[in-house]
Amino acid sequence: MSTKKQNIFKILFVCSGNICRSPMAEGILKKKLPDELQSQVQVISAGTLGIWGSAPSKEAIQAAQEIGVDISSHRSQGLSAELVKNAHIILVMAENHLHHMLDTFPGCEGKVFLLKAFENKLNEDEVVSIPDPIGLSIEVYRNILRTIDAHIDRLLPKLDQIIKKYSRI
């Protein structure tokens, strides 16, 4: 029997309150993660505002449920130095989250990325932030969810390569 500890690759999604965008991203990736990677990858989310224990917004829950993703049991958590340290890659929703990460957690430069820009070539005029839908209509949530879902779909075929590239040796 091997005593070697299996390394779990940790992906951390970050938004503001951890009640809309990042829990939707977490739920989508968990649902779409290939079976062979389920035991190798941990997907978590957190928020820059330090809100703990809040449920996702009802619109986030509804939009996610419409595509078969259940985030109703999610509870928000704020970013911590430990979460950041233990994550292999950190995918943030907006430029202000990227700046917050770089300012607050020195040393995370090589592993924090905008979700829309991660491993992706963008046009000069392309907006890289995914806007916060909090307080807006369910249709806005659906549009945000579709954007997040599309970028996760873009990552999935490259996940093996991403794990190899960003794993600690």
Task: Please list the active-site residues.
Answer: 15, 21, 132
Distance CA 49, CA 93 (A): 14
Q: Which helix (H) or strand (E) holds 141?
A: helix 138-155
Pairing of strands 89-92, 9-15: parallel
Query: Edge-to-edge strand order for the sheet containing 89-92?
Result: 41-47, 9-15, 89-92, 112-114
Nearest to residue 91, comparing CAs of 156, 157, 25? 25
Q: Which amino acid is at 79?
A: L
